[in-house]
Structure 1
Amino acid sequence: MTEILTRTRPFTELTALRELGPERFGATVDPIWTIGPKVHGGCMMAICAAAARRSVLIAGGGAELQPIAVSANYLAAPDPGEVHVSTSVRKMGRQVCAVDVQLSQAGRVAVTAAVTLGSLDGGEPRYQETVPLTQLPAEPTAEAVHVTPEHPMGQIVHVAQGCDLRVDPSAALFLSGRQGDPVNRMWLRPFAADEAEADTALLFALMAGDISAPVTMNRGMFGWAPTVQLTTYLRRRPSPGWLRVMASSTVMGTTWFEEDHLILDATGAVVVQSRQLAMIPKGA
């Protein structure tokens, strides 16, 4: 276990990188950024994205280039503590850059990621479908479940110690021992000091594409549902305020299920879309 770094800007500390050499970086993962004993997949994705962005800046790319797409394969589940990140810039362009990233611990590769960097969307979209998530109030309701360290969910989902996480109980039926559709909805917000750093808030939104507890829980299937592959699109900078998150699945097989995340910012704009392939919990 590592020492708790800070309680005011924990995500800034998570994504802070130390340069160890050409295209080599170090990072420290605090124990709060875990699900159970293992590091949260979205947090590892954010570290990879931060390393890719740093590599492009070092290579002369513009500061406006941000990780608009990250496709990660999860090979091992590291523990909190020191991790090392290596990058390889595959394409340097004025509009699009591509970087391959490996995140390792103790010489063992845990994540490989392909990161695409480009300019984020801005202004009004030319077309956007109406999505059910817009019906969720922009801020948590009085009925929202605050996931604190003392809450049963907070004792497993430790990432809730590094942000403000409120769950919609009308969707997360598993919290009351019921079953329903594989859908989860929640409100999420970084701490004020993290939100004040524009690039940190951006990486936080990227991380949130993996924030939901497995939607298998709403079908009575509990336990570890390891992510094998996760692809996340970052569409625009989130406006300050609460993020609204919906996670859902359309097909749950005997071995695999997919889980999609859609994230809106306080203005209702789509900021993140993600899809992952994960395994049905053992024994389910």
Structure 2
Amino acid sequence: MATFAELVEVTEGEGGYTATIDPTWTVGPKVHGGAMLAVCASAALAAYRSADGASPTAAPILVSADFLSAPDPGPVALRTTVVKRGRTTSAVDVELIQGGRAAVRASVTIAEPETGDERYRDDAFVDFLPPEPGGDATAVAGDHPMAGVFHVAEVADVRYDPTSTPFLRGAEGLPETRGWVRLRPAADGAGRPDAAELAMLFALLAGDVSIPVVANLQLLGWAPTLQLTANVRRVPAPGWLRFRASASVIGERWFEEDHLVVDSAGHVVVSTRQLAMLPTRRPTQRVEEQL
């Protein structure tokens, strides 16, 4: 099994770093957007740490990425530029390049993550699911319609609240999905000295883990992301991450999708917003062919 640590492992090279993205981290033939975000953040962190005085506990707390093209799995180059080194925050620009073509352009802010309890938290907003999936949760595995397309599920255990995926029954519903995600034990990096770092990077991927919520309007197919901004607040507590993905406005061509990710301790770990293009509706195809 591919591991998450292998995904975000970067090697110093000319102008920055290199990495190799395993085919596991794909949706269909193309690399998953959250996986690319995690790789860019890992390169930014390496660039930040390349100079003396870097804090060993600082982490990527904000990543804003423009998706310029859809790369294939395999080798990528990561061109990094340290824009600022500060006592409170540092900033690193990253370009993910494949075949001489930029696929992602990201701005990454490095700082100390949150610790302790929040000063204020709207529990009604955060407690949208129990900390762990129940027996009725739908796992993306086996003969699940998404399993043959969402290859990330081979490494990440993803389970949906079945009431939030009416599109799988051929029905329509609200543009919102809810579920749980965690790395499978063989890929989670538990016990490694960099386990906290890996957990924060995986949280970035979790902020883009849901199928596009417009699927619940029977708008199925590839919904390419143009821009995604992720705020990573803290190191997640061990265990399942709960996610809720939703859209408040869906246009004729574009829609915004928000993810909220909560850890097993009830802390908000990640919030993301992305602008994506609506897929083309093809109702004559089976669900798994459209995803």
Of 16, 40, 44, the residue aligned with 2:36 is 44
Listed one character per residue, the Cα deviations across residues 178-222 of structure 1 (whole Å, up to 9, x for unaligned) are: 111000001001123524122111100111111100000001100
Q: Which runs of 4+ in 1 moved over 4 A?
A: none
Alpha-carbon separation, structure 1, partners of 2:64 and 2:209: 16
Tell me the residue number matched to 2:9: 16
- CA positional deviation for 1:135: 3.7
Give the match's secondary structure for 2:163: coil
Give the match's secondary structure for 1:218: helix
How does 1:90-239 map onto structure 2 within 5 Å? 90-192=83-185, 193-196=187-190, 197-239=195-237
Q: Would the aligned equivalents of 2:213 and 2:246 in 1 still touch at CA under 8 Å?
A: yes
Give the match's secondary structure for 2:270: strand
Gapped regions of structure 1 (runs ≥ 5):
1-6
Alpha-carbon separation, structure 1, partners of 2:34 and 2:128: 26
Task: Judge which range, 38-47 or 23-32, deviates more.
Answer: 23-32
Alpha-carbon separation, structure 2, partners of 1:176 and 1:199: 39
Q: Would the aligned equivalents of 1:11 and 1:204 in 2 still touch at CA under 8 Å?
A: yes
Tell me the residue number matched to 1:259: 257
Alpha-carbon separation, structure 2, partners of 1:131 and 1:158: 33
2:29 corresponds to which letter in structure 1? P
Give the match's secondary structure for 2:220: coil
Change (3 A) 1:105 1:256: same
Give the TM-score normalised by structure 1: 0.94
Q: Would the aligned equivalents of 2:4 and 2:189 in 1 still touch at CA under 8 Å?
A: no
Identity of aligned residues (%): 49
- CA positional deviation for 1:272: 0.2
Tell me the residue number matched to 1:243: 241
Gapped regions of structure 2 (runs ≥ 5):
283-291
Give the match's secondary structure for 2:90: strand
Alpha-carbon separation, structure 1, partners of 2:230 and 2:91: 15
Alpha-carbon separation, structure 2, partners of 1:106 and 1:190: 30
2:129 corresponds to which letter in structure 1? L
State the superposition RMSD in angstroms: 1.3
- CA positional deviation for 1:132: 4.0
User: For this pair of structures, how many residues does the alignment match?
Assistant: 276
Listed one character per residue, the Cα deviations across residues 239-274 of structure 1 (whole Å, up to 9, x for unaligned) are: 000000000000000010000000000011000000
Say yes or no: does 1:78 pair with 2:71. Answer: yes
1:59 corresponds to which letter in structure 2? A
Give the match's secondary structure for 1:231: strand
Q: Would the aligned equivalents of 1:149 and 1:161 in 2 still touch at CA under 8 Å?
A: no
Tell me the residue number matched to 2:285: none
Listed one character per residue, the Cα deviations across residues 9-37 of structure 1 (whole Å, up to 9, x for unaligned) are: 6111100111113x511111111101111
Task: Judge which range, 43-52 or 23-32, deviates more.
Answer: 23-32
Task: Judge which range, 174-183 or 243-252, deviates more.
Answer: 174-183
Tell me the residue number matched to 2:48: 56
Give the TM-score normalised by structure 2: 0.92
